[in-house]
């Protein structure tokens, strides 16, 4: 294994264990499984009452969106908490490949996001009688993977901003809730005012959720490849912006000796 | 003396919470976002719910969130800030010092109701026509007070669990559902209804809606007050137990 690959895999795993040593099983179950489950139930029941769409619309939308919890909050903490814990300076004093350090951190959150999303679908299957089209599960898994990766990319961007901002978690929370509104999670993008829909189309989730809904209704993966490619490209754009910001803030922090000042 | 302590403590914590960006998010921005989601869902659906109905529901959702996150971790926060020992060591009973804080967390929920009503008025031209404005002026404080008492119960019981913050995350959506803030209880499984009876937001929401849309809100206001007193009694007992255990085991400042 090359040095960069080792930093990517081993460094990513170690950083996750170090930064999230406070996670207890009970805390994980309540926050990462319980809360998403009740979010799915809540919006499905609101949807039934409103009579706007069928259950599957809300189940797929929310079961995909809950991956953003790991993607956005987790990834934000995965970068910004280095500063809060006082470990940013030693980390950046190493000669290690920055891209490997930066990208390696994403891996645990991608895995976590997928696990949360899969749990959401399974719970919906058990509790809400959700049944995706026959044979659609592998394609649905691809949609979950792509969408989770793009959410993690957005989390990377917010985390990078957290290297400079005083209260990055306010931004992370706000983005998470706004995604519920503008990304087609509970309201079809066409039913939103034009400007809100346009914001949603520039964010991760929107195209991934649209693709997942099509897949769950029986459309083959090939027919939604355009949507998934768009989702992947949006994620790539956010990841690139995040890495550029990370390097800019690193350089600025060194120049001004302000890496860990608030 | 106790009233003065309550008043000063309440104003102090209200100011302190108002300066917190997290509580601005929970009590203003989040309810407005949820009200918008509900509005667009209803607009594209077949249900003829009024905007005012949704705005009031989303406002109450904000009050619950502010109470849950503010009160659920209240003792833990004092512990992290190093002020818990001072509170316990001070001459007034701990209850008299903690109650203003939990009521303040519910009170900043007023921002939620004000925020969602203002949002509806400014962006959607929602008419603010209340059938019984005076009753509403009683129903809202009664709801907030009862939630403040519920907050005391949360504060004094959550402290027994190490993962209390995670517990707060878990309880936000279920209570929104089980108290009928947006979705009528008749749409939920039957076993949810008895749970809703012991949760004061259920009665608070009914009182506020009766006051806003016409109806007799006074029985629900009475239920809010009665439940608030029950929460206060249970909270006081739990708090006394917490204080006794913490003194006996010398664990007051241990997380």
| B255 in a structural domain | no
| A262 in a structural domain | no
Residue, of B180 and B47, whose pLDDT is higher: B180
| A131 in a structural domain | yes
Average pLDDT over residues B186-190: 94
Tens digit of each residue's pLDDT (9 = 90 or more) over B211-238: 999 889 999 999 999 999 999 999 999 9
Q: pLDDT tens for chain A, 262 residues: list them.
A: 788 889 888 988 888 888 888 888 888 888 889 999 999 999 999 999 998 889 999 999 999 999 998 889 988 888 888 888 888 888 888 888 888 988 888 999 999 999 999 999 999 999 999 999 999 999 999 999 999 999 999 999 999 998 888 788 888 999 999 999 999 999 999 999 999 999 999 999 999 999 999 999 999 999 999 999 999 999 999 999 999 999 999 898 888 887 777 6
pLDDT of residue A2: 85
Q: B124 is written with which tokens?
A: 């959607």
Best residue of A24, A30, A172 to probe chain B, by most B CBs closer than 10 Å:
A30
Q: Which residue has the tokens 């914001």?
A: A199
Number of domains observed in the structure of chain B: 1
User: Cα separations (Å) of B244 from A135, B94, B247?
Assistant: 60, 11, 5
Distance from CA of A22 to the nearest CA of B (A): 10
* Cβ contact A24–B46 (<8 Å): no
Instruction: Indicate the angle between helix axes A137-161 and A168-182, nearest 10 degrees.
Output: 140
Domain assignment of residue A121, given as a range: 3-256
Domain assignment of residue B104, given as a range: 2-249
| B254 in a structural domain | no
* Cβ contact A50–B22 (<8 Å): no
CA nearest to A120, candidates A34, A213, A214: A34
Residue, of B156 and A34, whose pLDDT is higher: A34
pLDDT of residue B233: 95
Q: B70 is written with which tokens?
A: 């503010």
Phi, psi of B214 (to 5 degrees): 105, 125
* CB-based contact A19:A82 (threshold 8 Å): yes
Cα-trace Rg, chain A: 19
- How much of chain A exceeds pLDDT 70, in percent? 100
Average confidence score pLDDT of chain B: 89
Number of domains observed in the structure of chain A: 1
| A52 in a structural domain | yes
Contacts for B22 with CB less than 8 Å, ≥ 6 apart: A169, A170, A173, B69
Rounded to whole angstroms, the Cα distance separating A66 from B255 reads 30
Average pLDDT over residues B84-97: 88
Q: A225 is written with which tokens?
A: 């490849």
* Cβ contact A191–B177 (<8 Å): no
Distance from CA of B96 to the nearest CA of A (A): 31
Q: Is the pLDDT of residue B255 over 70?
A: no
Rounded to whole angstroms, the Cα distance separating A249 from A253 reads 6
Rounded to whole angstroms, the Cα distance separating A27 from A73 reads 15
Rounded to whole angstroms, the Cα distance separating B100 from B10 reads 4
The secondary structure element, H or E, covering residue B75 is: helix B74-81
Q: B156 is written with which tokens?
A: 């004094």
Distance from CA of A78 to the nearest CA of B (A): 19
Q: How many residues does this entry show for chain B?
A: 255
**DSSP three-state, residue A96:** coil
| B99 in a structural domain | yes
pLDDT of residue A102: 86
* Cβ contact A41–B173 (<8 Å): yes
Exposed/middle/buried for B71, CB within 10 Å: 0-12, 13-18, 19+? buried
- List the alpha helices (DSSP H) in A21-167: 25-28, 35-50, 55-65, 67-68, 75-84, 88-93, 98-104, 106-127, 137-161
| B238 in a structural domain | yes
| B204 in a structural domain | yes
| A261 in a structural domain | no
Tens digit of each residue's pLDDT (9 = 90 or more) over A212-226: 999 999 999 999 999
| B147 in a structural domain | yes
Query: CA dihedral defined by B28, B120, A176, A164, rounded to 10 degrees?
Result: -50
């Amino acid at each position: 294994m090359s040095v960069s690959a080792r930093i990517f895999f081993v460094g990513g795993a170690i950083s996750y264990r170090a930064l999230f040593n406070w996670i207890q099983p009970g805390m994980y179950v309540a926050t990462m499984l319980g809360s998403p489950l009740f979010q799915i139930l809540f919006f499905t029941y609101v949807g039934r009452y409103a009579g706007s769409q069928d259950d599957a619309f809300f189940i797929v939308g929310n079961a995909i969106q809950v991956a953003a919890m790991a993607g956005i909050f987790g990834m934000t903490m995965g970068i910004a908490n280095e500063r809060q814990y006082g470990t940013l300076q030693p980390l950046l004093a190493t000669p290690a490949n920055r891209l490997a350090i930066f990208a390696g951190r994403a891996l645990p959150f991608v895995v976590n996001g997928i696990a949360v999303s899969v749990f959401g679908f399974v719970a919906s299957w058990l509790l809400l009688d959700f049944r995706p089209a026959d044979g659609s599960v592998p394609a649905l898994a691809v949609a979950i993977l792509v969408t989770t990766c793009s959410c993690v990319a957005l989390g990377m961007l917010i985390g990078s901003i957290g290297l400079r901002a005083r209260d990055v978690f306010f931004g992370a929370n706000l983005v998470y809730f706004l995604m519920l509104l503008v990304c087609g999670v509970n309201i079809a993008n066409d039913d939103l005012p034009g400007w809100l829909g346009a914001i949603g189309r520039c964010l991760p989730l929107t195209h991934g959720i649209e693709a997942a809904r099509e897949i769950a209704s029986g459309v083959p993966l090939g027919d939604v490849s355009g949507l998934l490619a768009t989702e992947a490209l949006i994620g790539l754009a956010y990841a690139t912006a995040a890495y550029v910001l990370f390097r800019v803030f690193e350089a600025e922090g060194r120049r001004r000796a302000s890496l860990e000042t608030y | 003396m106790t009233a003065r302590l309550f008043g000063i403590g309440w104003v102090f914590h209200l100011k302190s919470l108002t300066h917190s960006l997290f509580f601005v998010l929970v009590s203003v921005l989040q309810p407005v976002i949820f009200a918008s989601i509900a509005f667009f869902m209803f607009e594209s659906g077949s249900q003829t719910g009024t905007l005012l109905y949704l705005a009031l529901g989303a406002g109450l959702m904000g009050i619950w969130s502010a109470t849950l996150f503010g009160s659920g971790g209240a003792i833990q926060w004092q512990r992290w800030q190093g002020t818990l020992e001072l509170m316990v060591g001070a001459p007034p009973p701990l209850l008299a010092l903690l109650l203003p804080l939990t009521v303040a967390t519910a009170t900043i929920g007023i921002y939620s109701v004000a925020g969602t009503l203002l949002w509806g008025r400014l962006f959607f031209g929602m008419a603010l026509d209340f059938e019984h404005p005076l009753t509403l002026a009683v129903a809202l404080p009664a709801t907030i007070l009862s939630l403040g008492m519920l907050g005391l119960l949360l504060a004094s019981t959550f402290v027994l669990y190490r993962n209390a913050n995670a517990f707060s995350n878990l309880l936000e959506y279920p209570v929104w559902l089980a108290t009928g803030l947006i979705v009528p209880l008749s749409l939920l499984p039957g076993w949810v209804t008895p749970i809703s009876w012991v949760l004061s937001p259920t009665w608070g929401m009914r009182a506020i809606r009766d006051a806003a849309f016409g109806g007799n809100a006074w029985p629900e206001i009475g239920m809010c007050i009665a439940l608030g007193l029950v929460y206060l009694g249970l909270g006081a007992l739990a708090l006394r137990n917490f204080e006794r255990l913490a003194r006996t085991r010398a664990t007051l400042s241990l997380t």
